[in-house]
Amino acid sequence: MAVLWLIPFLPFLSATLMLLSAGRMPRYLSAWLGVGSIGLAAVCVALVARAYLADHQVQELTLWTWMSVDNFTPRIAFRVDGLTVVMMSVITGVGFLIHLYSVEFMWEDESICRYFAYMNLFVAAMLLLVMADNLLLLYLGWEGVGACSYLLVGFWYRDPDNGRAARKAFIVTRVGDTAMALGLFLLFTELGTLDIQPLMAAANDRWQIGDTLPILATALLLGGALGKSAQLPLHTWLPDAMAGPTPVSALIHAATMVTAGVYLIARLYELFLLAPPTLAVIAWIGLLTLLLAAFTALAQKDIKRILAYSTISQIGYMFLALGVGAFASSIFHLVTHAFFKALLFLAAGAVIHCLHHEHNIFRMGGLRTRLPVVFLSFLIGSAALAALPFSSGFFSKEGILLSAWTQPGIGPWLWAGGLLGALLTSIYSFRLVFIVFFGEAQTEPDRQPGWQMAIPLMVLCVLSLVGGWFVLPLSGVLPDPGHDPVSHWVEYISIGTPLLGLTVAYLLYLGRQVSIASLMASPAGAAVQSFWYGGARIDKLYDLLLVRPFTGLTHWWRNEPVDLLYNALVWMTRWGHGRLVVLQTGELRWYATSMVFGLLLLLAIVLRDSA
């Protein structure tokens, strides 16, 4: 289908134009170009999606052969099936809304052109990632979104902290990406191709379930997914990445890029099915991450950090679903999460925007009446995040928990863990709502969100509410094992848990029935609070184990230790020079005399030999 290539090309083209203008483009033109290109791409995606929904025909398009060396012939080629259609719709649809929102959010920034250029470049790379028909092109998109994330997190480059956060985001994900690259090497060396469909066919052909090689390969790929999707142990970059503008967090660090790891595993599900141990690890990592991040979110003060940890936690749910083989449920949660988390971030952005860039939730309060639109959005977003009944998050999370429950063996444990996570999610989301929007006002907003902000919020509100009724065209693309009917009390418990969380949050933060302040004042409470406030000290641990030794080593070596070897040679030469130089007296007669004696010596030797 010819329109296919336009989808990544339009954002790329507009990004290029903006970059070439070197920042001299008028701001309304950059805004139009930035939003318009994504809008056009969204229209193209809609066309493609309609065609796909009509006949469920996979669409392919090869642009050119990227390179051809030996039997390594990756192409620049797209392949669009149901999963890709879903991802493309999320990227361009949510992306369009976020771009529109950005117009107002970034209007006063002097570098709005640069902002839209990076954002469009990101969308292009992300589209390449999901449309790629081979793993190398996917890797291009994969690293491309990483680079754009780096550029956007460090967008306000004047503050060194932002630069630090941007570098951290890139380098930590690069660790995962390198593992993934090794995975690609392994796959190509063993299977002789990187085209996704032939690759999975060949893997099924040659490998049995539980062989070492698929386990190794999937483990390496998992490394990439963990880095990109901010899962343990590579999750530390995401909270810091909140240094970027808020729409960036909404688009990259909530809706699209961080879910790339989920997409990767779903895309290569046949490969992962060959490696049950890897799947089990994925499930456990997901569970561990979602609990850890939920606990951490509960202790944060910065509105964006809370949402960041909540994102990590929700992606943990997706990984849990992947690990138990419920790929479709995972993607479903990805989609609903994209809606409600983008909504939450944009609403948080609106709060920050209207409150002189205030991030601390304890300096907000009482915004319910002052920013009604934002309050409504936040309320709906939090309801969906907490999976209150009939919100979109409810349906997707329910599916994941039930799939976990029916998993033989470890299922109930995963289910119980997931349930605990759901409880925590509910508590921290409503803690946020209660503290920010209820109570006494601490800071007065100096403006109201305009229409460019309000419209995306409203649309996302609707999507967050009704998203649960969407039927994603994933049948036939991803296996949907479905789950056996479960007893009703399991379902009742999962419905009841978020409500319980809501009640707890009400008691703690709004009703003030239990004094949270006195709880925190106790030594044990303070220790727990500070432990979780620091993200379980994982950052400190990495700092101690990796960063300091590395910087120490570079500092120690910076003056080139190898040169010591050559300097030793130089020193020896100098020493020999010092010894021999005494022979050079500079006196002519001494030279003449030594020549004579030398000659005599030579003569004597010659005469002796001839004699």
Partner 1 sequence: MGGLQIPLEHVLLIASCLFSCGLAGLMLRRNLIFMLMSLEVMLNSAALAFVAAGARWGQPDGQIIFLFILSIAAAEVAVGLGLVLQIQRRFKTLDMDQANRLRG
Partner 2 sequence: MSMVVLIGLLLIGGVIAWWTERINSDWPRWVALATVCAALLYLLRITASLSLESFELVPDPHDGASWLLHLKLAWIPRFGINFELAMDGLSLLLVALTLLLGLIAIASSWSEINFKTGFFHANLLWTLAGVCGVFLALDLFLFFLFWEVMLIPMYLLIAIWGHENSGYAAMKFFIFTQFSGLLMLLSIVVLAWQGAVTNGLLSFSYFDLLGLPLEGPLAWVTMLGFFIAFTVKLPGFPFHTWLPDAHTQAPTAGSVLLAGILLKTGAYGLLRFCIPLFPDISAQFAPIAMGLGAAGVIYGAILAFGQTDFKRLVAYSSVSHMGFVLLGLYAWNTLALQGAVMQMVAHGVSTAALFTLAGSLQQRLHTRDMRQMGGLWHQAPRMGACAMFFALASLGLPGLGNFVAEFLILLGLFAVQPWLCAVAALGLISAAIYALWMMQQTFQGEPDTGRQMRDFNGREMLAMTTMIVALIGLGLYPQPVLDLVEPTLDALQQEVRSDVIRAFATTSAAQ
542 forms part of the interface with partner 2 (CB under 8 A): no
471 forms part of the interface with partner 1 (CB under 8 A): no
Residue 383, binding choice from partner 2, partner 1, none, Cβ under 5 to 8 Å by partner class: none
Query: What minimum distance in Å lies between the beta carbon of 568 and partner 1?
Result: 23
Q: Residue 234's closest CA among 539, 550, 545, 532?
A: 539
The alpha helices in 371-487, defined as continuous H runs, are 372-386, 392-406, 411-437, 451-466
Burial 293-315 (b: 16+ CB within 10 A, else e): bbbbbbbbeebbbbbbbbbbbbb
> Which of 160, 409 has the CB closer to partner 2?
160
> Which of 564, 601 has the CB closer to partner 2?
564
Inter-residue contact 280 to 240 (CB < 8 Å): no
> Which of 209, 596 has the CB closer to partner 1?
596
582 forms part of the interface with partner 1 (CB under 8 A): yes
72 forms part of the interface with partner 2 (CB under 8 A): yes
**Span from 140-148, 465-473, 474-482, 519-527 in contact with partner 2 (CB under 8 A):** 140-148
> Which of 446, 587 has the CB closer to partner 1?
587
What span, in angstroms and rounded, lies between the C-alpha atoms of 510 and 434? 6
In the list 586, 607, 608, 609, the residue contacting partner 1 (rule: CB under 8 A) is: 586
> Which of 166, 324 has the CB closer to partner 2?
166
What span, in angstroms and rounded, lies between the C-alpha atoms of 261 and 607? 90
> Which of 554, 584 has the CB closer to partner 1?
584
Angle between helices 112-131 and 260-267 (to 10 degrees): 20
Residues in Cβ contact with 94 at an 8 Å cutoff, skipping those fewer than 6 apart: 251, 255, 256, 338, 339, 342, 460
Q: How many residues bind partner 2 (CB under 8 A)?
A: 55
Query: What minimum distance in Å lies between the beta carbon of 1 and partner 2?
Result: 22
Q: Which positions from 396 through 415 interact with partner 2, judged by CB under 8 A?
A: none
Return the H-helix or E-strand segment holding 31. Answer: helix 27-55
In the list 462, 553, 572, 603, the residue contacting partner 2 (rule: CB under 8 A) is: 553
19 forms part of the interface with partner 2 (CB under 8 A): yes
Q: Is 151 helix (H, G, I), strand (E, B) or coil?
A: helix
609 forms part of the interface with partner 1 (CB under 8 A): no
Which two three-digit tokens encode residue 7? 């989808």
Amino acid identity for residue 257 in this structure: M
Inter-residue contact 339 to 458 (CB < 8 Å): no
Q: Residue 399's closest CA among 475, 487, 331?
A: 331
In the list 80, 86, 166, 404, the residue contacting partner 2 (rule: CB under 8 A) is: 166
Residue 173's CB is within 10 A of a number of other CB atoms, namely 31
**Span from 193-201, 344-352, 460-468, 587-595 in contact with partner 1 (CB under 8 A):** 587-595
Amino acid identity for residue 303 in this structure: I
> Which of 140, 348 has the CB closer to partner 2?
140
Residue 587, binding choice from partner 2, partner 1, none, Cβ under 5 to 8 Å by partner class: partner 1
Percentages (nearest 5) of helix, strand, coil residues in the chain: 75, 5, 20
Residue 584, binding choice from partner 1, partner 2, none, Cβ under 5 to 8 Å by partner class: partner 1
What span, in angstroms and rounded, lies between the C-alpha atoms of 288 and 234? 13
62 forms part of the interface with partner 1 (CB under 8 A): no
What span, in angstroms and rounded, lies between the C-alpha atoms of 424 and 408? 25
Binding mask of the shown chain, residues 417 to 456, with x at each position contacting partner 1 by CB under 8 A = ----------------------------------------
Residue 151, binding choice from partner 2, partner 1, none, Cβ under 5 to 8 Å by partner class: partner 2
Query: What minimum distance in Å lies between the beta carbon of 73 and partner 2?
Result: 10
Strand 59-65 relative to strand 75-80: parallel, antiparallel, unpaired? antiparallel
Give me the residues that bind partner 2 (CB under 8 A), please: 19, 22-23, 64-70, 72, 76, 136, 139-140, 142-144, 147, 150-151, 154, 157-160, 163-164, 166-167, 170-171, 174-175, 177-178, 181-182, 184-186, 188-189, 550-551, 553-555, 557-558, 560, 562-563, 565-566
Binding stretches for partner 1 (CB under 8 A): 581-589, 592-593, 596
